[in-house]
Amino acid sequence: MKRKVLISFAIILIFLISIFIYAFIISFKVVKQNTDNINSKLKENFQNIVRIPDIPPSLRSFTKTVYTWEMITNEKEVTTVTFIHDTAFDRNINKIFAALEMPQGQDASLFVKVMPAVVSDAQALSSAQDLEHTFLGSNETIGYNKIELFTKDENSTQVTKIIWEFEKEKAVTGSEEFYENLYKYKDFILKALYAIQRTTLIILSP
């Protein structure tokens, strides 16, 4: 009897290990490869609104990708800017939001100074620089639906955050195949596979 129990336990254990190994391989070979390709393509597409330097993301998650870098004003003052965009790895997401913002604790005046060197979208830049004559509507050339501007406080004219709203299909141009490769898996399986590769990379990172 004990032998049968041990054999059954061993079979179950081998089965579970096999599933984990398969999931581990898929998480890197399929999920990581395609999510990296998507992020790379989105970064390329978003150059139309923000000049993202050739740097790796400072944060990657299933829902968002974040880039953070330093900018220097003409007066040699240093400030930090952050660009965040949705990934839309979830098949139920129909809109993608991208935001350029001043990190908490930074000087708003410096953020305003470097904005012309960072924002490549002329419509957003001119609106941020002149709040009395803003145009926050859609831009057919770039493909977004609208812009939102946020200031330091309600009495300030210093814009510290710009948000662009895109229809998913317009923002992900060139990435359709990569998304289809991900959508072969159910949502909960895709999230689990993504978590496996991200957790592994975090553990192995120096």
- Average of per-residue pLDDT values in the chain: 94
Determine the pLDDT at residue 155: 86
**In 3-state terms, what secondary structure has residue 13?**
helix
CA–CA distances in Å: residue 189 to residues 12, 80, 143, 198: 21, 37, 32, 14
Residue 158 pLDDT > 80, yes or no? yes
Residue 77 pLDDT > 80, yes or no? yes
Q: Which of 18-22, 98-102, 131-135 has the lowest mean pLDDT?
A: 18-22
CA–CA distances in Å: residue 33 to residues 25, 39, 170, 193, 205: 11, 10, 22, 12, 18
**In 3-state terms, what secondary structure has residue 206?**
coil
Domain boundaries, the chain: 2-41+175-204, 45-171
Determine the pLDDT at residue 11: 79
Q: Is the dihedral of CA 99, 105, 109, 113 positive or negative?
A: negative
Determine the pLDDT at residue 206: 67
Tally Cβ neighbours within 10 Å of residue 191.
16
Residue 130 pLDDT > 70, yes or no? yes
**In 3-state terms, what secondary structure has residue 57?**
coil
Question: What pTM was computed for the model?
Answer: 0.90
Residue 121 pLDDT > 90, yes or no? yes
